[in-house]
Amino acid sequence: MSSLHATPEQRRSNSAHSASVGLLFDDSAALYDRLNRVVGLGMGERYRGEVLAGAGLIPGMTVLDVGCGTGVLGAHARRLIEPTGCVIALDPSRGMLDIARDKRGLEAVQAAAERLPLADGSIDAVVMGYALRHLERLDPVFEEFARVLRPGGRLLMLELLPPRQRALRQAFRTYLRNVVPWLVGRGRNERLKTRRLMDHTWTTITHAATPPQVLKALRATGFEDARFRSLAQVLGEYTARRI
């Protein structure tokens, strides 16, 4: 049930869940870069750079990185838009934003994707790396993206996908929930933090909106040329342009 039609009890439950997830990401911020390298099998940095280069980012653009985490995607975007461009890194997690600002020098803004603190038509491109699955409702967020983007502005969203093949799906689940914590965690406490985050990651991957649902929502909220591409069954790329 959407939050729009939720009962007071359900809204309180959703609020408590959001607060719990926020604490999870704050608590995992120091591990997040290490985790990204392991989950991406060491190829995540190269992949991010290549997909951003193909998204049409050029020097001088203002780019909004929504759900920026520790700013890995935003840092790649900045290299493409320098020296006159600007990346705004936005995330609800203060712990993640502190790293995005202090380690990567990004302009950090604490806010939710549903309420962007930016002027209409002030952004040339919106990017979102692996945060789409955390959205409770697509339309309000995509409407905000369309609002802050200039006409013709670009949208790029990257996401993890549950593999269609049963064997690969099980292998991916096992890797995330059982292998990653041992590769990332330095000691029992870090392994437990990583396991909790990977449990959350797998749950959100398997319950996320499907590509057809995402594309339909994009077309209904002010975007055109909405496209989806899947790589190796576990990586998804959504691209669109603001009408």
CATH number of the domain residue 12 falls in:
3.40.50.150
Q: What is the mean pLDDT of the chain?
A: 90
In a domain, 49, yes or no: yes
How far is the CA of 61 from the CAs of 1, 89, 145, 184, in angstroms? 38, 14, 16, 35
| pLDDT tens digit sequence for 63-119 | 999 999 999 999 999 999 999 999 999 999 999 999 999 999 999 999 999 999 999
Higher-pLDDT residue of 9 and 188 is 188
Nearest to 70 by CA among 21, 124, 120, 25: 25
User: Would residue 171 count as lying in a domain?
Assistant: no
Instruction: Give domain status of residue 221, yes or no.
Output: yes
The pTM of the whole model exceeds 0.85: yes
pLDDT higher than threshold 80 for residue 121 = yes
The first and second tokens of residue 79, run together, are 């290299």
Q: Please check whether residue 25 lies inside any domain of the structure.
A: yes
Where does the pLDDT of residue 40 fall: very low under 50, low under 70, confident under 90, or very high at 90 and above?
confident
Does residue 127 sit within a domain? yes
Segment 14-43 shows an average pLDDT of 77
Top-confidence residue, 3 or 153: 153
pLDDT reading at 56 higher than 50: yes
Tokens of 132: 């789409």
Given a cut of 50, is residue 136 above it in pLDDT?
Answer: yes
- Number of domains observed in the structure of the chain: 1
33, part of any domain: yes
Q: What is the pLDDT of residue 24?
A: 86
Give the ranges where the chain is alpha helix by DSSP (H).
8-28, 32-39, 44-53, 72-81, 94-102, 138-148, 166-174, 180-184, 188-207, 211-220
> Is the pLDDT confidence value at 17 over 80?
no
Distances (CA, A) of 64 to 4, 17, 161: 26, 26, 23
Average pLDDT (108-132) is 97
Position 168 in a domain: no
- Look at residue 133 and tell me if it is in a domain: yes
Q: By residue range, what is the domain housing residue 150? A: 3-163+209-242
